[in-house]
Amino acid sequence: MKLFSRLPLLLLICSALAAPVYAQTEPVAAEGSETKTLPLDDLRMFAEVYGRIKSAYVEPVDDSKLLQDAIRGMLAGLDPHSSYLEPEAFESLQVHTSGEFGGLGIEVGLEDGFVRVIAPIDDTPAQRAGIRAGDLIIKLDDTPVQGLSLNEAVDLMRGEIGSEIRLTIVRDGVEKPFEVKLVRDAIKVASVRSRLLEPGYGYLRISQFQLNTGKDLIDELETLEREAPLNGLVLDLRNNPGGVLQAAVEVTDAFIDEGLIVYTEGRLPNSELRFSASEQTAAPELPLVVLINGGSASASEIVAGALQDHRRAILMGTDSFGKGSVQTVLPLGNDRALKLTTARYFTPNGRSIQAQGIHPDLVVEEAKLTALGQDPQIKERDLAGHLENGTAAAQAAGEDPALATSDFQLYQALNLLKALNIVAVPVQP
């Protein structure tokens, strides 16, 4: 699929710590900046090092390899998200943003020489095997990860559909490393899923922001409203590593009908953009609770920050990841591209999320709720000869008793929506 033939400059709020693949570009002077003299001493040093490697390295080294490695090193010193996309990595990015790719279903980054899991993608081998955000991968089959580039590690995780791979995991709170076996699969990611938590209370989960996420969210919202009139909605952005900027704008626009959503600032004029809401809004007044956590990054933070600034939703959970930069994909020809950090993004109130994250209105840590057992107190109904109520017993139809123990944060979000509906107050933190 030649996705980028239609999108020569695709703005991404890319997955947090997304594979630092490495980059190449020509010097560009920002408007208004002074033209500086080339550092001739450094260029001479580069030429000398290049010559020494060519003449003295233990084995002959191809010129192309040295130059490609120099490009990688040049970009590796900028930030974790700027990267040089060689043909395979470029193709992978195109497929990833379209929502279908092969592999294990893990968003990963490189940290201290090891592969850190940013988030498992919903309904993938990684998620089904219990891989968690924050897990550290130290070995792939029998190959230690330390010393590999992230691209090399990702290549090892890829393979034929149906083939097995063993991941050796280090996890906080677990004393020893442990192995997890996964079976590679074709990853088809539905970016938006929905269900009714109870009659009148809907749930929308966005696993990542793809090109069609805005449209898919509206379709799922309409499906929920056909099932039952909605009194409230939970928008789940936990462990959502980001994606396409425009998709984040469209999702936010579904809940607000005016005002700024996000703006970006960079050194180049075309990197300064402003995105505002349109009057056509799917759910401008529906009570809304947004769930975030440390795996919510970039595009997720744009949505959460905009809804928080507009006082349109109550944010619940834990602090988000804190990736406030924008990457632009610049095709270089020959099936290669440059993914370069070109701007920072800001919430409507001018907050930069970079390295800070979004702080929720209500902090609710991930927890496991354990019932204490049956209430020992004697009630009227326990007394011999008590009068009957005389009316039909109320039915809690559709209530999920397991929600409190399976997902405590979602359980608390549902309770908050119920409380807002009972007192009939505006949804403002």
**Same domain, residue pair 174 and 220:** no
**Same domain, residue pair 282 and 134:** no
* Residue numbers annotated as active site: 298, 309, 323
- What is the reported pLDDT for 166? 96
- 59/57 Cα distance (integer angstroms): 5
Residue 305 tokens, joined = 């920050």
Domain for residue 404, yes or no? no
**Same domain, residue pair 211 and 359:** yes
**Same domain, residue pair 196 and 309:** yes
- What is the reported pLDDT for 92? 67
Question: Of 173, 188, 203, which residue constitutes the final position of a domain?
Answer: 188
- 106/109 Cα distance (integer angstroms): 10
Query: With 0-12 CB in 10 A as exposed, 13-18 as middle and 19+ as buried, what is 63?
Result: exposed
Domain that holds residue 131: 106-188
Q: Are 10 and 244 in contact (CB under 8 A)?
A: yes
Domain for residue 51, yes or no? no
- What is the reported pLDDT for 21? 27
Domain for residue 41, yes or no? no
Q: Are 90 and 1 in contact (CB under 8 A)?
A: no
**Same domain, residue pair 281 and 135:** no
**Same domain, residue pair 223 and 121:** no
- 376/374 Cα distance (integer angstroms): 6
Q: What is the 3-state secondary structure (H, E, C) of the chain?
A: CCHHHHCCCEEEECCCCCCCCCCCCCCCCCCCCCCCCCCHHHHHHHHHHHHHHHHHCCCCCCHHHHHHHHHHHHHHCCCCCCEEECHHHHHHHHHHHHCEEEECCEEEEEECCEEEEEEECCCCHHHHCCCCCCCEEEEECCEECCCCCHHHHHHHHCCCCCCEEEEEEECCCCCCCEEEEEECEEEECCCEEEEEEECCEEEEEECCECCCHHHHHHHHHHHHHHHCCCCEEEEECCCCCCEEHHHHHHHHHCCCCCCEEEEEECCCHHHCCEEECCCCCCCCCCCEEEEECCCCCCHHHHHHHHHHHCCCCEEEECCCCCCCEEEEEEEEECCEEEEEEEEEEECCCCCECCCCCCCCCEECCCCCCCCCCCCCCCCHHHCCCCCCCCCCCCCCCCCCCCHHHHCHHHHHHHHHHHHHHHHCCCCCC
Domain for residue 373, yes or no? no
**Same domain, residue pair 137 and 257:** no
What is the CATH classification number for the domain harbouring 319? 3.90.226.10
Domain for residue 306, yes or no? yes
- 84/75 Cα distance (integer angstroms): 8
What is the CATH classification number for the domain harbouring 126? 2.30.42.10
| C-beta atoms surrounding 106 within 10 Å | 26
- Please report, in angstroms and rounded to a whole number, the separation of the first and last CA atoms in the chain: 44
Number of domains making up the chain: 2
| C-beta atoms surrounding 166 within 10 Å | 13
Q: Are 63 and 325 in contact (CB under 8 A)?
A: no
Domain for residue 72, yes or no? no
Query: Of 102, 112, 101, whose CA–CA distance to 148 is shortest?
Result: 112
pLDDT tens, per residue, the chain with 429 residues: 333 333 333 455 444 333 322 222 233 344 444 457 889 999 999 999 999 999 999 999 999 999 989 988 888 889 888 888 887 777 766 665 655 556 898 878 777 788 988 778 878 899 999 999 889 999 999 999 998 887 788 888 988 888 899 999 999 889 899 999 999 998 777 789 999 999 999 999 998 899 999 999 999 999 999 988 999 999 999 989 888 889 999 999 999 999 999 999 999 888 899 999 999 899 999 999 999 999 899 999 999 999 999 999 999 999 999 999 988 888 887 788 888 999 999 999 999 999 999 999 999 998 877 766 666 677 787 787 778 876 644 444 445 667 888 789 999 999 999 999 887 655 555
**Same domain, residue pair 287 and 302:** yes
- Please give the angle made by the CA atoms of 244, 249 and 255, to the nearest 5 degrees: 135
**Same domain, residue pair 305 and 359:** yes
- What is the reported pLDDT for 415? 95
Question: Of 169, 188, 207, which residue constitutes the final position of a domain?
Answer: 188
Question: Of 363, 392, 419, which residue constitutes the final position of a domain?
Answer: 363
- 326/310 Cα distance (integer angstroms): 22
**Same domain, residue pair 123 and 260:** no
**Same domain, residue pair 282 and 153:** no
Q: Tell me how far the alpha carbon of residue 239 is from its chain's centroid.
A: 6
Domain for residue 375, yes or no? no
- 98/188 Cα distance (integer angstroms): 9
- What is the reported pLDDT for 318? 97
- What is the reported pLDDT for 205? 95
Domain for residue 281, yes or no? yes
**Same domain, residue pair 172 and 196:** no
The Cα-based distances of 383 to 71, 386, 387, 393 in angstroms read: 82, 6, 9, 18
| C-beta atoms surrounding 44 within 10 Å | 10
